[in-house]
Amino acid sequence: MFAPPAKGRLVVASPSLEDPNFRRTVVFLLAADDDGALGVVLNRPSGTAVKEVVPQWGFHASEPPVLFVGGPVQPNSAICVGRARRGSSRYAAGDIQSAPDPGDPEADGFSPLIAGLGTVDLNRAPEDLSVSFTGLRVFTGYSGWGPGQLEEEIEAGAWFVVQGEQSDVLCAEPGDLWEQVLRRQGGWLAVLARHPVDASLN
């Protein structure tokens, strides 16, 4: 029995999910409640450097320092997720928690999500924020589901809900993330991690 979708958790595409927008993706949930769910795809880097679009934030971008395709909804919009530096926001290492940390301060331009991670207002200059960052990622577009839609897709076997780690959100090797996340779950999910990209080659 998998955990229900919740803010801070990952939804990982099943090998059977053939939608080209989500095939072999790992989605970080920014919100999940009765109104639906919203997240960003963590393993779809683009070829566009962050500094080309938001130059003032390029220096803070994690490797690879490019825009990521967060999902098919509003592809011209941008969502930024940053990891606050120790001392500027409460920081928790290791597993991403499924509930917000009440000790995380809400700073002007930074809205905490969970465990030191939060969304960043890209319209602000980095030096104008009271929070500094050890890394961040900029996503174009996002992934969205209406009320009950994601739960239905999970029930149908399209997604697996798992606990994430901070390193997943700012992963330096996003091409390996889908396999890595499944493998560390153990059991039959680890077996699925070896599922070939092209099943006809199996």
**For residue range 137-154, what is the model confidence (pLDDT) as tens digits?**
999 999 999 999 999 999
Residue 166: pLDDT band with limits 50, 70, 90: confident
Computed on alpha carbons and rounded to an integer, the radius of gyration of the chain in Å comes to: 16
Superfamily of domain 10-196: VC0467-like (3.40.1740.10)
What's the pTM value of the predicted model, to 2 decimals?
A: 0.87
**Torsion of the alpha carbons at 7, 10, 12 and 18, rounded to the nearest 10:** 40
Most confident of 21-25, 110-114, 188-192: 21-25
**For residue range 50-77, what is the model confidence (pLDDT) as tens digits?**
999 999 999 999 999 999 999 999 999 9
Using CA atoms, how far apart are residues 50 and 67, in angstroms rounded to an integer? 5
Coil vs helix vs strand at 174 = helix
Parse the chain into domains and list their residue ranges.
Answer: 10-196
- Range of weakest confidence among 74-78, 97-101, 196-200: 97-101
Cα dist. 47→61, 62, 172 in Å?
14, 14, 15
Mean pLDDT, residues 87-107 = 47
